[in-house]
Amino acid sequence: MEKINEMHIKFLSKSSNESFARVIIAAFASQMDPTLEEITDIKTAVSEAVTNAIIHGYEDGIGYVEMSAYIYPDKLVVEVSDKGKGIEDIEKACQPLYTSKPELERSGMGFTVMETFMDQLEVISGINQGTKVKMTKYIKNPRGKTEL
């Protein structure tokens, strides 16, 4: 299906940008007239992806996190990517409760939250090349649907 709109932003891997990314995606997605629950799901998944990029991708060093979002008639696609150290074993990283950083009190739930709150999740990663998380959320009654 045809893409209706898209946006791209790039920000430093600072934890204060986690809430910034949530506000941006919520504002962009609001064009589709999603429910409050759908917006919360998207914000939570984006928060997890951006947090992963900051603490795992760059391990608290500084780099750029990029977020792109695409609006289709029936769905929102969000990509969050970093140029950090990459994930060695994606399958293991996606297991619930697995964390490579238990000392940071991470719950190991990041990918599980993304998977649960979004409809599709794709993780592409290369060692020392970075990680890209692509998430899709179907919006049940998007504004565009009735107009098209």
Partner 1 sequence: MEIKGRKKKNTLMVSLKGELDHHTANQVRQYIDGILEDPTIKNIVMDIQGLNFMDSSGIGVILGRYKIISKRGGKLGVVNINAHIDRIFQMSGIYKLIKVYDQLDQALNDMGGY
Residues that bind partner 1 (CB under 8 A): 15-16, 18-19, 22, 37, 40, 43-44, 47-48, 51, 54-55, 96-97, 104-107, 109-110, 112-113, 116
Catalytic residue among 79, 106, 115, 143: 106
d(CA 87, CA 103): 18
Q: How far is the CB of 114 from partner 1 (least distance, A)?
A: 9
Cβ atoms of residues 29 and 42 within 8 Å: yes
Q: How far is the CB of 90 from partner 1 (least distance, A)?
A: 18
- Of residues 46 and 72, the one with the C-beta less far from partner 1: 46
Cβ atoms of residues 73 and 145 within 8 Å: yes
- Of residues 52 and 81, the one with the C-beta less far from partner 1: 52
Cβ atoms of residues 18 and 51 within 8 Å: yes
Catalytic residue among 48, 66, 91, 141: 48
Measured in whole angstroms, the distance separating CA 123 from the mean position of its chain's CA atoms is 10
Q: How far is the CB of 14 from partner 1 (least distance, A)?
A: 8
Indicate if 106 belongs to the active site: yes
Q: Which residues fall within 8 angstroms of residue 30, CB to CB, at 6 or more apart?
A: 39
Active site residues per annotation: 48, 52, 106
